Amino acid sequence: MNILQRLEIRHPIFLAPMAGVSTPELAAEVSNQGGLGSLGLGASSVAAAREQILKTQALTEHAFQVNFFCHQPEPLDENANQIWLEHLQPEFAKFNSKVPTDLKCIYPSFLDNDDFLNLVLETQPKAVSFHFGIPHQYQIQKLKDAGIITMVSATNLAEAKAIEEAGIDIIIAQGVEAGGHRGIFNPNLDGAIKTFDLIQLIKKYCQIPVVAAGGIMNGQQAKQALNLGAEAVQLGTAFVQCKSSNANAAYRKALFDHPITQITASISGRPARGLINQWACFVDLPDRPNVAPYPYAYDLAKQLNTLAVQQGESGYGAFWAGSNVALIRELEAQDLMNQLILEMNQS
Ligand SMILES: Cc1cc2nc3c(=O)[nH]c(=O)nc-3n(C[C@H](O)[C@H](O)[C@H](O)COP(=O)(O)O)c2cc1C
């Protein structure tokens, strides 16, 4: 059985799970067009995740994936955190505020919280995917026993091999062009392999299906990825502009007005690619200290952004986008899907 038959979808196009940007409406639109819709639930509470899954199920009878984070807990170094807080003090001062005194772990890992596992087992989405690492073996087994297809992001060969050995069904090969967080298991180890190179590398050494993610904005690029051996493609940035996404007005505008990206760990504590904004200008200075670990740094970034937005400054948002964002088109999800399919068939 190929990937389309297993997932019961008609086209090899996945909407990327995008925490904070995904919505049930966007997921359902993609699934209803024959692709695989997605919900990025890594930043959601269990109750909010349940609500989103149930809403998506009400909007489509077709398959979709849900996505969680499998980050390893990072020890909190109080001293290093204080240095990071001090580095951000001038930014808070711009908005007449003091930097907070402590940082919180705002996102639990799927590894530490079986409430998410139980939610997936209860609501039975067709597929579940993971970023930043592989679930525990007992978690994988329970998902398999329930007939739920499992997928994990890999950014290099070692991660891909570990995913295959763990018994996961599908590898999401995430190249360095990808918008959002790098799926790297170890936040300090990034080979920064390009998407098309990564597909070929993983295909050479692994047997399970590979889905290509990173920098794919049109059907021609999607077809190229398939020709290199990917069984499907996963697109994030191309869908952020859709009306049914949760992106705010400033983010949408910046996608078209300033389509230049860089990778920074300053926002969340883990490297992620996004539009260049105030973080690059004021925080990512050459002498900046080590960032506090993920997701503690993200807590601070979100507080700074809330403060800035309240005072009319939108440039501290985490506007995640892939390196090919300049190719973005203003299209509704349904029309974008149709366009992608047309372009794939023509190339
Ligand atoms: C706004 C945004 C949020 C993202 N959030 C997630 C996420 O929650 N989970 C995940 O596995 N990947 C996430 N990603 C990465 C995507 O899964 C995918 O690797 C990426 O979008 C592919 O590159 P592209 O944006 O160039 O299409 C996100 C990407 C973007 C653009």
Of all protein residues, the one whose alpha carbon is nearest to atom 4 of ligand 1 is 18
Whether 180 is in the pocket of ligand 1, judged by its Cβ within 6 Å, is yes
Chain segment 207-243, per-residue pLDDT in tens: 999 999 999 999 999 999 999 999 999 999 999 999 9
Chain segment 299-310, per-residue pLDDT in tens: 999 999 999 999
Kindly state the average pLDDT of the residues 103-116. 92
Chain segment 42-77, per-residue pLDDT in tens: 999 999 999 999 999 999 999 999 999 999 988 878
Report the pLDDT value the prediction gives residue 78, as an integer from 0 to 100. Answer: 87
Residue 190 has pLDDT above 90, yes or no: yes
Report the pLDDT value the prediction gives residue 105, as an integer from 0 to 100. Answer: 87
Whether 240 is in the pocket of ligand 1, judged by its Cβ within 6 Å, is yes
Chain segment 114-143, per-residue pLDDT in tens: 999 999 999 999 999 999 999 999 999 999
CB neighbour list of residue 87: distance below 8 Å, 6 or more residues apart: 283, 288, 289
Report the pLDDT value the prediction gives residue 77, as an integer from 0 to 100. Answer: 83
Distance 245 CA to ligand 1 centre (A): 13
Of all protein residues, the one whose alpha carbon is nearest to atom 13 of ligand 1 is 18
Of all protein residues, the one whose alpha carbon is nearest to atom 28 of ligand 1 is 180
Q: What percent of the chain has pLDDT over 70?
A: 100
Q: Indicate the pLDDT class of residue 144, thresholds 50, 70 and 90.
A: very high
Whether 40 is in the pocket of ligand 1, judged by its Cβ within 6 Å, is yes
Spans of all domains in the chain: 3-71+107-244+330-346
Report the pLDDT value the prediction gives residue 113, as an integer from 0 to 100. Answer: 85
Q: Indicate the pLDDT class of residue 151, thresholds 50, 70 and 90.
A: very high
Q: Give the number of the atom of ligand 1 that is nearest the alpha carbon of residue 19.
A: 8
Report the mean per-residue pLDDT for the chain.
Answer: 96
Whether 211 is in the pocket of ligand 1, judged by its Cβ within 6 Å, is no
Whether 133 is in the pocket of ligand 1, judged by its Cβ within 6 Å, is no
Report the pLDDT value the prediction gives residue 11, as an integer from 0 to 100. Answer: 98
Report the pLDDT value the prediction gives residue 315, as an integer from 0 to 100. Answer: 95
Arch. (CATH architecture) of 3-71+107-244+330-346: Alpha-Beta Barrel (3.20)
Sign (positive/negative) of CA torsion 259, 24, 15, 214? positive
Of all protein residues, the one whose alpha carbon is nearest to atom 14 of ligand 1 is 180
Distance 229 CA to ligand 1 centre (A): 21
Report the pLDDT value the prediction gives residue 75, as an integer from 0 to 100. Answer: 80
Of all protein residues, the one whose alpha carbon is nearest to atom 30 of ligand 1 is 180
